[in-house]
Every structure is written in structure tokens, then in C-alpha cells.
Amino acid sequence: MVLLNRVRRYWARHHIAERLRVAFVGRQIVDGLLFKAALIAILISVSVLYVKPLLYMMSTSLKTLPDLLDQSVRWIPNTLEWLNYEKAIGGLKYWRSLGITSFIALTAAVLQTLACGITGYAFARLHIPGKKFWFAIVILTFLIPQQTLVIPLYVIYVKLGWLNTVLPFIVPAIVAQGIKGSLFIIIFRQFFSTLPKELEESARMDGAGAFRTYWKIMIPLSRPALLIVFLFSFVWHWNDYFEPALYLKGADFYPLSLSLEHLQANLNFMSGSSSGLTNVVVDVNEPIKMAAAFLIILPPLILYMFAQRYFVEGIERTGIVE
């Protein structure tokens, strides 16, 4: 009885109840441990659901066929079958496609970033009669679905003889069009309009022309915007499959995003040519397909590992939301 009283007094004097309450429930519910634990639990479960297909891809890509059919093997294969990757690399003509994709994505992204930067700067800072009208067109080109324009573009490219070349991806990029070009213009415009106006004024006082000002002052300052637009342009060009599927119909010239389609045919061809028998068909099974899919997304994933900070913070830092 005495002990209990002492405990009770100790409890009251040191405000333990209150402290525990603050620690668990928080002064406001969002500060407390309970809330945070619940939050993280929810986030983890959603994330698991979210990345499950990716994990499935990785796990399946290393399974042998018996493992695939074995119900007891779910995530971790009994034996790691690296041969799947070997077959997938052959079937995708991986290195060749990788080279083509890198070339297209890199060139287009660099050109698009530069062109959209200039356009965005013009919209943000320069005196242009009818600017509102032109900017409305930028927004309109963002909203018009590709489906509407694709046929005339296709006909034009046929006439120009640009099919099965890289030109349909690179020329639009030079003139600030191309994949989500209008979105990039909007990002640049937003970014440049947050910079102080005095920059240009003082440059003009020092006798710099508009181009010099842009090149010497605006470009170095806009590194975050340039980087984010470049990264997005690169990844979107890399992943694009709609336009390549249309413009690159030659069997021997396709980027990685289309190569999955040719997997079976290439494998058949390879096995046929090596054994000389026509009835030997390498059946593309699920593990090989998953290995191929993983190989296709691997380069952007590696890029993301290094650049994820810029991807995620980029939109916030360019102030597109202001």
C-alpha cells in the first residue's frame, strides 16, 4: 500500500504519464511515435505492393523451368540460372540496341534541353508582341494527344525518307518539339521567371547583348533546370516506344524499348543458324522474358541510382509549382 502510494507520487511528480503521452501520442497527433509507426507501416506496405512486380521480374529472371513450375519456390530460386540472361542478351541483340538507344536518347536530350531552354527564356524574359498567344500554343501542343498528329508526321517522314533513321527523333528536338517538349518549355519559363530581373539589367549596363547575357549569365545560373530537363528528356526518350514502333520498321534498327518484341524471332534465328536445323526452336519462356525485361530497364535504373536526388528534387527546385 505504501509502495503503491510512493509509486503514484513519483509518477505524478515527474509527470511520467504526461511524458509518455507526449512521446507516444504527441503534443499533436502527428508528432507522436504511434502516428509515425503507423505512417511508416502504411508506407512500407504500399511500397511492397508497389515494387512487387519489379522483384517478381528479378526473381523470375533467375529461375530454371523446374523452379518456375514448382509451387514451393516463390521468391528465391533453388538454383540461379544465369543462362537466362545470356539467352536474353543474345535474343535482344542487347549491345547493339543499347548503343542505338543511348545514341538517340543522348543526342535528342541534349538538343531538346538547349532548344527548350532558349524558348523558355524567351517566354520568361524577352519582349515579344503576342507572347500570350504563343504561350497558349505551347500549352495547346502539350494537351493535343499524339494520336492526332502521328499520321501526317508519318507521311512527312516517309516523303523525306526519314523512316528507319534517327532523324525523326533528333530534328524535332532541335526545334524544341519532340517528347514533352512543351512541358520542358514551361519548366524553363517558370525557372527563368524566378531569377531576379537585375541580372539582365546589369549585364546590359556592361554592354552585353541578349545572346551574351543568356549564354554567360543565364545558362550558368540555370544548371538545376538544365539538369532536370536533360534527365527527364533522356529517360523519356529512352523509354519511348510509340514513335520508334512507328518510324523504325526496319528489322535491324530498333531501340531497346522495342527489342522485347523481337526476342522470339531472334532466338529462333540464332538457334536455326547455329544448328542448321529448322525444327529446333528456342522457346522463349517466362524466365528469359523477365531477364530481357530486366535488362531493358537496367540502364535507366542505374542512372536513377546515381541521379535520384535530382529527379525527385528537380521539380521542386525549378519552382514549376509557383
Q: Which of residues 38-97 bind another protein (CB under 8 A)?
A: 39-40, 42-43, 46-47, 49-54, 56-57, 60
Out of 71, 152, 223, 273, the residue judged to bind another protein by CB under 8 A:
152
Listed in sequence order, the residues at least 6 apart from 184 whose beta carbon sits closer than 8 Å to its beta carbon are 112, 113, 116, 120, 176, 229, 232, 233
Q: Which is nearer to another protein, 141 or 266 (CB)?
A: 141
Site for another protein in 249-308 (CB under 8 A): 257-258, 260-261, 286, 289-290, 293, 296-297, 300-301, 303-304, 308
Task: In angstroms, give the least distance from the CB of 295 to another protein.
Answer: 10
Show the site string, 113-132: x = touches another protein by CB under 8 A, - = not. Answer: --x--xx-xxx--xxxx-x-
Q: With CB under 8 A as the contact rule, which of the stretches 10-18, 79-87, 147-155, 271-279 interacts with another protein?
A: 147-155
Task: In angstroms, give the least distance from the CB of 141 to another protein.
Answer: 5
C-alpha cell at 316: 521542386
Site membership for another protein, residue 16 (CB under 8 A): no
Task: In angstroms, give the least distance from the CB of 79 to another protein.
Answer: 21
Rounded-to-integer distance, Cα 116 and Cα 108, Å: 12
Site for another protein in 241-260 (CB under 8 A): 241-242, 246, 257-258, 260
Q: Which is nearer to another protein, 12 or 175 (CB)?
A: 175
Site for another protein in 194-223 (CB under 8 A): 210, 214
Quickly list H helices, the chain: 2-13, 16-24, 33-61, 65-69, 83-92, 94-125, 131-143, 146-160, 167-174, 181-192, 198-205, 210-213, 219-221, 223-239, 242-247, 256-259, 263-275, 286-317
Half-sphere exposure at residue 164, Cβ-oriented, CA atoms within 13 angstroms = 6
Rounded-to-integer distance, Cα 185 and Cα 190, Å: 9
Q: Which is nearer to another protein, 48 or 80 (CB)?
A: 48
Task: In angstroms, give the least distance from the CB of 223 to another protein.
Answer: 19
Encode 11-70 in three state secondary structure. HHHCCHHHHHHHHHCCCCHHHCHHHHHHHHHHHHHHHHHHHHHHHHHHHHHCCCHHHHHC
Site for another protein in 220-239 (CB under 8 A): 235, 238-239
Residue of 88, 43, 48, 81 lying closest to 62 (CA atoms): 81
Amino acid (1-letter code) at residue 64: T
| Inter-residue contact 185 to 120 (CB < 8 Å) | yes
Task: In angstroms, give the least distance from the CB of 282 to another protein.
Answer: 18
C-alpha cell at 315: 521539380
Out of 17, 34, 155, 251, the residue judged to bind another protein by CB under 8 A:
155
Q: Which is nearer to another protein, 119 or 222 (CB)?
A: 119
C-alpha cell at 157: 517522314
Task: In angstroms, give the least distance from the CB of 172 to another protein.
Answer: 5
